[in-house]
Amino acid sequence: MRRRTTLIAGGVLAAAAIAGGTGIAVANGAGDNDAPLEGSTLDEAVAAALEATGGGEVLETEVGDEGSAYGVEIRLEDGSQVEVNLDSSFRVINQEADHDSPNEQG
């Protein structure tokens, strides 16, 4: 009986350790592809996004955001924020209001 209790307790501890590690990975964004755009990719994505919004301030860029090839977050002149999603040819897939602050996941 004592051996069975020890095995059950060990299994529970192992499961808790795995779940805890997964929680830490999610909290740190591990597994997300939120890498910022760089170089000519950055230049082309920003130009396409600003053209689509009619201007604004770029707050954040990222690779592979929400099913798109690139994402560009822009603060418009009225203070609102919009997320512009682009395909791999820098064509706008969609743009939507973004209520998150820069670098906030949600």
| Statement to judge: residues 24 and 67 lie in one domain | no
Collapsing DSSP states into helix, strand and coil, what is residue 82?
strand
Q: What is the length of the chain?
A: 106
Does residue 62 lie within any of the structural domains?
A: yes
Q: Residues 15-63: pLDDT tens digits?
A: 444 444 433 333 333 334 679 999 999 999 999 999 999 999 999 999 9
Residue 12, amino acid? V
User: In terms of domains, do 52 and 92 share one?
Assistant: yes
Claim to verify: residue 26 and residue 50 sit in the same structural domain: no
Report the number of secondary-structure helices (H) and strands (E) in the chain.
2, 4
Residue with tokens 């590690």: 21
* pTM of the predicted model as reported, rounded to 2 decimal places: 0.63
